[in-house]
Amino acid sequence: MAYLRSLIIGGSLIAVAGAAAFAQGGAAAAPADTANDPIRILVARLDLEQYKATIKGLTEFGDRRQGTDRNRKAVDWIEAQLKSYGCTPTERIKYTYTTPQRGGGRGRGGAGRGGAGGGPTVPVGGVIATGKSPTPAQGGGRNWGIRTRTGVNTDSLKQPDAAIRAIDSQPATDGEREEVYCTKVGTTHPDEMYIVGGHMDGHGWGQAANDDGSGTALVMQLARVFSDPNVKTDRSIRFILWNNEETGTNGARAYIEQRAALQGKEDPAGSGKYPEPKWLGMIQHDMMLFDHGMPRADGTVSPEQRPEADVNIEFQATSKFADGAQKMAWFFKSANEKYAADYPARVGPHMTNTDSGPFQDLIPAISLRENERGEQIGAGWDPHWHQPTDVYATFSDKDFRLGLNAAQTTLAAVAELTGARIQK
Ligand SMILES: [Zn+2]
């Protein structure tokens, strides 16, 4: 009960003005007049075919591995799309990435990331545990039931499509990196913003269609809807496509290092312009398509999206801003209940291994995914994760629709949080 009470009346726990709506009990208030509800109108502007086409466009650049020409070309393509939506001006963060020496790097690096902890003799997809004894999951919680080996494919010959293999063939080299963003400027509080992110880099000798073409396309489609000049918001929204997530969230860390101190400063003074509005919350989207359930006893996973598929909204219970993050997570779940078409959302406390992580001790931060990252993806629920099979053709409309429902969820929640309306 104490937990529930703090959720409902603890609005003051979040020191952000834009999050005041959380104090309403985590419920996004939908006007009774649903036909004229601006949020419903905006959600209806999301479209499955446009979402799929954006993912398809990203997969033309193969796995978009950081430090390659295909990654740089993908950044250019994303920027051109954002401009075509009217999300201008676009801007870029520049930083240098150097591969850490083996054993000396911070965080997760390279192929060591994402292993479920099984021995290297077990191939990907091979059953390593049936969960009879408790083992800890990444990010907290524990592994339940059947668990299979996961990892990052580094073998080009496992990609059967010669064209994809050729696109993915250039190796990464250390050096300068870029990542692109654009901003919807708020009318009454241009000095405050929510950050809506996904990561555009991938690896594994596929097309990074799901990880994270699906999250990148979601962010781009939200940028399209909010950039309509007739859509006005009180607060600002930044749409950003992180680079170098797969090497350890280096793009998100570079952004924080370069821009945290600029928050809320008017520049030039008296201009009414805020190059870095104060951060109210960070919402990350990473792997949005595939929720086919737990691996079976033989290590295989159902070829069909399970009817119980859901969008997993995670916050990190051990983070400094856990209270605010958890309220934001429940607020998103409420927005899902009101505005998503096909799939529900669930909230979990173990957000991990994604670009919202570097923000979690600075501001309320959450992630949206197809499954919980630690207990489920980490236990082999997505057999395409970092594999040559993460290609556009692997996924069906039922899969793409899960991503679209996540887009509906974030669009509705962010529209409510920023006071979105449609000018007649
Ligand atoms: Zn990812």
5: which 2 tokens?
């009470």
Task: Find the 199 Cα to ligand 1 centroid distance in Å.
Answer: 7
Burial class from Cβ neighbours inside 10 Å (0-12, 13-18, 19+) for residue 70 reads middle
Which residue matches tokens 């969008």?
Answer: 311
pLDDT of amino acid 336? 98
Burial class from Cβ neighbours inside 10 Å (0-12, 13-18, 19+) for residue 409 reads buried
pLDDT of amino acid 347? 98
Task: Find the 144 Cα to ligand 1 centroid distance in Å.
Answer: 22
Task: Find the 284 Cα to ligand 1 centroid distance in Å.
Answer: 10
Ligand 1 being an ion, which residues bring their Cβ within 5 A of it?
Answer: 211-212, 286
Task: Find the 211 Cα to ligand 1 centroid distance in Å.
Answer: 5
Burial string for 176-192 (b: 16+ CB within 10 Å, else e) reads ebebbbbbbbbeebbbb
Task: Find the 368 Cα to ligand 1 centroid distance in Å.
Answer: 11
Closest CA to 58 of 209, 181, 161: 209
Burial class from Cβ neighbours inside 10 Å (0-12, 13-18, 19+) for residue 291 reads buried
Longest CA–CA separation in the chain, Å: 66
pLDDT of amino acid 29? 53
Task: Find the 51 Cα to ligand 1 centroid distance in Å.
Answer: 18
Task: Find the 187 Cα to ligand 1 centroid distance in Å.
Answer: 33
Task: Find the 354 Cα to ligand 1 centroid distance in Å.
Answer: 7
Strands 147-148 and 311-314, how do they pair? unpaired
pLDDT of amino acid 131? 65
What are the 10-residue block averages of pLDDT along the chain, 424 residues in total?
Answer: 36 39 48 81 98 98 98 98 98 97 53 40 77 84 92 95 98 98 98 98 98 98 98 98 98 98 97 97 98 96 97 98 98 98 98 98 98 95 97 98 98 98 92
- Going from the C-alpha of 288 to that of each of 61, 150, 209, 343, 395, the distances in angstroms are 19, 18, 10, 12, 11
Q: Which residues pair with 231 in a beta bridge?
A: 422
Task: Find the 81 Cα to ligand 1 centroid distance in Å.
Answer: 21
Closest CA to 336 of 310, 317, 361, 318: 310
Task: Find the 203 Cα to ligand 1 centroid distance in Å.
Answer: 9
- The span from the CA of 286 to the CA of 245, in Å, is 10
Task: Find the 343 Cα to ligand 1 centroid distance in Å.
Answer: 21
Task: Find the 71 Cα to ligand 1 centroid distance in Å.
Answer: 15
pLDDT of amino acid 31? 55
